[in-house]
Amino acid sequence: MSSAIPPFPPIEDLTAETAAEELAWLAAEMARHDALYNEATPEISDADYDALRARNLAVEAAFPDLVRPDSPSHKVGAAVSSQFAEVRHGVPMLSLDNAFDEGEVRDFVARIARFLKLPSDEPIAFVAEPKIDGLSANLLYVDGRLTLGATRGDGRTGEDVTANLNTIADVKQTLAGDDWPDRIEIRGEVYAPNAAFAAFNAAAEAEGRRTYANPRNFAAGSLRQKDARITAKRPLNFFAYAWGEHSRDFAETQWEALQKLKAWGFPVNARSRRVEGAEGLIAVYRELERDRATLGYDIDGVVYKVDRLDWQRRLGFVARSPRWAIAHKFPAQQATTVLEGIDIQVGRTGSLTPVARLHPVTVGGVVVRNATLHNEDEIERLDVRIGDTVRLQRAGDVIPQILGVVPDLRPADA
Ligand code: IVH
């Protein structure tokens, strides 16, 4: 899901004319997102949807005469969160800080040693786990039975998708073994394997049905179906890697906890490793980066977690991320393709943006057909012409970027 909410001008800068334009745009845009949401193919996160709603209210408050008959503010219980019941997680589901290079990984390890006041030669053990590119789910087990399954939502409150999660074979209805806490939230990632995703899209395309941009959108759309019978037909899997609320402690290390999750019946990623120090982490990262394309499912980095749970507790959290874990992200994926044309997109405020129309190319598992060229200066800077072969990159959800031209491949008539 993208977080592509345009930067809005300050309310004080709006005139009646630009405010009216913006309200028209917001009404159309939110209606579009409502429709996408109701088809379980949302393009934006709930938080971004809420940002649009808040902006609409703020503009209307400043220009009450301009409130439109089709204003999203007239719609009670907007599309997001109306479909599934809201559930509060027993313990919030946090996010992770990112590291983008090896220096940041070494800083992370050094920070931990400093915080724990460890002597410089004391080895710190970590678990390095593939960062699965799906969506996280929270599974509450009471007396070993799955009683509630929820999406992450905003981290505190998610959506009750128990019926849908129940259709995933990897999500156990009852825990195996008998050494589980009476009450435990088990957390992990719902994802779609690449081959199954490609097969679904191929069949959907052949039958003229909707296709999905990537396995993650597909997994998210599939998990948020109103009718769980549709979810049941979708190829979804689950990896367990964390836990929330628990009525008693059940492990002393992250590694031991993963073995417990496995013993209770969950798939646990076989590529996770217990290693020491920054060099150990970086070695796992390089291996996973090398093998990434052959895993059969998308990963977007490696998550490093301090192994000892007593150290995790001492390290605690800063804002919404644990001090004891970090996500080491893979660099943006690159590809080359041919620039077939340049369209001019007219923005909400009348601004003009050139958009590159590209020969479709797969970059990091996503088919890219367009990329922003930002403005005329950027076209000049890149010296990009129609017919050129261009290098482009895509990082996560970010709009694909054109990095430059391959000069040797420029046709004479470009
Ligand atoms: S641990 C407090 N482990 O990454 C730590 N997260 O950016 C909680 N993810 O929301 C997360 N693979 O959806 C953890 N092996 C893994 C993961 C993982 C994927 C996702 C998860 C989380 C996001 C954090």
Work out which ligand 1 atom sits closest to the CA atom of 321: 2
Boundary of a domain, candidates 299, 329, 359: 329
Residues 339 and 325 in one domain: no
Angle between helix 102-115 and helix 277-291 axes, rounded to 10 deg: 150
Q: List the structure tokens of 6.
A: 């345009």
Ligand 1, atom 21: nearest CA belongs to which residue?
Answer: 136
What residue numbers bound the domain in which 393 lies? 11-75+333-409
Residues 27 and 129 in one domain: no
Work out which ligand 1 atom sits closest to the CA atom of 322: 2
Number of other residues whose CB lies within 10 A of the CB of residue 288: 21
Residues 199 and 267 in one domain: yes
Distance 168 CA to ligand 1 centre (A): 19
Residues 59 and 94 in one domain: no
Most ligand 1 atoms within 8 A of CB, residue of 258, 303, 323 to mutate: 303
Per-residue confidence (pLDDT) for residue 347, from 0 to 100:
73
Residues 234 and 112 in one domain: yes
Residues 128 and 218 in one domain: yes
**What is the SS3 assignment for 101?**
coil
Per-residue confidence (pLDDT) for residue 77, from 0 to 100:
37
Residues pairing with 334 in the sheet: 393
Residues 159 and 43 in one domain: no
Distance 46 CA to ligand 1 centre (A): 18
Per-residue confidence (pLDDT) for residue 2, from 0 to 100:
45
Residues 202 and 266 in one domain: yes
Q: Is residue 366 part of a domain?
A: yes
Q: List the structure tokens of 86.
A: 């809201």
Distance 244 CA to ligand 1 centre (A): 12
Per-residue confidence (pLDDT) for residue 41, from 0 to 100:
72
Ligand 1, atom 16: nearest CA belongs to which residue?
Answer: 131
- Please report, in tens digits, the pLDDT of each residue of the chain (414 residues total): 445 677 888 888 899 999 999 999 999 888 888 777 766 677 777 667 777 888 888 888 888 888 888 888 776 433 344 589 999 999 999 999 999 999 999 999 999 999 999 987 899 999 999 999 999 999 999 999 999 999 999 999 999 999 999 999 999 999 999 999 999 999 999 999 999 999 999 998 899 888 888 899 999 999 999 899 999 999 999 999 999 999 999 999 999 999 999 999 999 999 999 999 999 999 999 999 999 989 999 999 999 999 999 999 999 999 889 999 999 999 877 788 999 999 888 877 777 778 899 988 877 667 788 888 878 888 888 899 999 999 888 765 556 778 889 888 899 999
DSSP class per residue in 184-246 = EEEEEEEE--HHHHHHHHHHHHHTT----SSHHHHHHHHHT-SSHHHHHHS--EEEEEEEEEE
Distance 77 CA to ligand 1 centre (A): 30
| Residue 103: CATH number of its domain | 3.30.470.30
What is the domain count for the chain? 2
Distance 146 CA to ligand 1 centre (A): 21
Ligand 1, atom 10: nearest CA belongs to which residue?
Answer: 95
Per-residue confidence (pLDDT) for residue 76, from 0 to 100:
47
Sign of the torsion formed by the C-alpha atoms of 401, 403, 406 and 411:
positive
Q: Is residue 3 part of a domain?
A: no
Per-residue confidence (pLDDT) for residue 78, from 0 to 100:
34
Boundary of a domain, candidates 279, 302, 329: 329
Ligand 1, atom 12: nearest CA belongs to which residue?
Answer: 131
Using a 6 Å CB cutoff, which residues line ligand 1?
Answer: 94-96, 129, 131-132, 136, 152, 189, 241-242, 303, 322, 325, 327
Q: Cα separation of 383 and 386, whole Å?
A: 10
Ligand 1, atom 4: nearest CA belongs to which residue?
Answer: 131
Q: Could you tell me the pTM of the whole model?
A: 0.73
Per-residue confidence (pLDDT) for residue 54, from 0 to 100:
81
Residues 225 and 368 in one domain: no
Known catalytic residues?
Answer: 131
Per-residue confidence (pLDDT) for residue 397, from 0 to 100:
52
